[in-house]
Amino acid sequence: MSAIELTYEDCKRILAQERLPRAFVNLDAFDSNARKMFSILEGTGKTMRIASKSLRCADLLGRAFELGGAAAKGVMSFTVEEAYFLVRRGFDDILVAYPTARAKDFEILCALAARGADVSVVCDSEENARALSEAGRAAGVVIQLVVEVDMSLRPAGGAAHLGVRRSTVRTGADALRVARAAEKAGGAAVIGIMGYEAQIAGMADENPFSRALNPARKLIREMSKPDVKRRRESVVSFLRKNGVNLRIVNGGGTGSLDFTSRDDSCTETTAGSGFYCPHLFSYYSNLALTPAAFFALQASRFPARRMVACNGGGYVASGEAGEDRLPLPWLPKGARLTKLEGAGEVQTPVEIPAGVSLSPGDPVIFRHAKAGELTERFNELLLISDKTAVGSVPTYRGEGFCFL
């Protein structure tokens, strides 16, 4: 355990007067993770676009930018409404990373463009590009578009698909058709591409919950790297040769920072989850981050020897269902969920190791499997620095927002 990590006794002392459940962030670990991630970019000429969905707290998003300095440039947002909120909070250069076809979102994008905000939105079809362009023309503005290019690994002539199922844009010609559709109505323009290599960035290759699959995960990650690099370079080259001015070439995530930052075709990489380091991000062979975000439940019942039942706790992560999506008991060390009940809606039984004694009301500390999803359960985050509570900040939920 490093000097900045919290012990169980630290947590028990800090939380003694707090209502539980309580979410908290160890700022020393948060800052350490930020420095490690930004250090990966040194000498590459790349900047980091910070993924707001992985923080969902405007104050900590601002802290991440302060820590990154010139290396932190731009926000990757997850909805148009969130982008509007962030602009009002003083953030700029915002990329909404998921397409929208809703009229209300078009109105917001046009309003943001009219006020001069640097906001772009991902698009991956000619139909969506035309609709956005027509909305922009009607409002007398130009909406900035970023075309998402599918970076999935498709071996065996495309018979297999290893990666996320999102965009149908796979080649430079596909992307150019989207760009031309945007130009035709005159109210939108493509300013970049996004090529997210999920099968590298989002595939933990040292997962203790499914060890038998780890060799295959490592193989997929390594096989994908030359394929992603070649195809991303090809799309960028094709678009530029055809007169498309690409200000943004985005790729990557926390799990592929080391790879994407050394791809010459990219102008930037994205990261977000690494700041909090939820437990899924402790299972990457190429990452060495420190757990920074936690939640505490109270031990309210003692149903069996070496077992407590905690109030709440069923904060299960999204994605493929599995044991690794459950919250991970972290402190006291050696605590674990039961196989039959997992993490419950209002009660979570936890097995306690021999030699550990808990009293009614004592905290049990957990790590969420994912990063920003934790904040959807809490109105604020308690901040800890130098093993002392130093204040609290509101989450998006605490500010009255649920963007998705």
Taking only the tens place, the pLDDT of each residue in 337-388 is 999 999 999 999 999 999 999 999 999 999 999 999 999 999 999 999 999 9
Least confident of 50-59, 192-201, 237-246, 391-400: 192-201
Give tens-digit pLDDT for 153-180. 887 777 778 788 889 999 999 999 999 9
Q: In the predicted model, what is the mean pLDDT of the chain?
A: 96
**Residue 20 φ then ψ, to 5°:** -115, 145
- In the chain the domains, ranked by start, together with CATH numbers, are 27-274 (3.20.20.10), 293-399 (2.40.37.20)
Radius of gyration of the chain (CA): 22
Question: 122 near 144, Cβ under 8 Å?
Answer: no
Which residue is associated with the tokens 């957990």?
Answer: 366
Taking 3-state DSSP, the helix, strand and coil percentages for the chain, each rounded to the nearest 5, stand at 40, 25, 40
Give tens-digit pLDDT for 134-153. 999 999 999 999 999 998 88
Q: How confident is the model at residue 203 (pLDDT cuts 50, 70, 90)?
A: confident
Give the residue from 30, 18, 92 showing the smallest Cα distance to 271. 30
Q: Give how far Cα 242 sits from Cα of 141, 237, 238, 302, Å.
A: 24, 9, 6, 69
* Percent share of the chain, pLDDT over 90: 92
Q: How confident is the model at residue 3 (pLDDT cuts 50, 70, 90)?
A: confident
SS3 for 284? Answer: coil
Average pLDDT over residues 104-121: 98
Q: Which amino acid is at 186?
A: G
Q: Is 396 exposed, middle or buried (0-12, 13-18, 19+ CB in 10 A)?
A: buried
**Residue 182 φ then ψ, to 5°:** -65, -40
Q: What is the pLDDT of residue 157?
A: 74
Q: What is the pLDDT of residue 2?
A: 79
In the predicted model, is pLDDT for residue 239 greater than 80? yes
Q: What is the pLDDT of residue 158?
A: 75
pTM score, whole prediction: 0.96
Q: What is the pLDDT of residue 32?
A: 98
Give the residue from 88, 141, 81 showing the smallest Cα distance to 110. 141
Q: Give how far Cα 258 sits from Cα of 37, 41, 268, 278, 388, Å.
A: 9, 8, 12, 19, 33
Q: What is the pLDDT of residue 143?
A: 98
Give tens-digit pLDDT for 269-328. 999 999 999 999 999 999 999 999 999 999 999 999 999 999 999 999 999 899 999 999
In our burial notation (b when 16+ CB lie closer than 10 A, e otherwise), range 52-68 reads bbbbbbbbbbbbbbebb
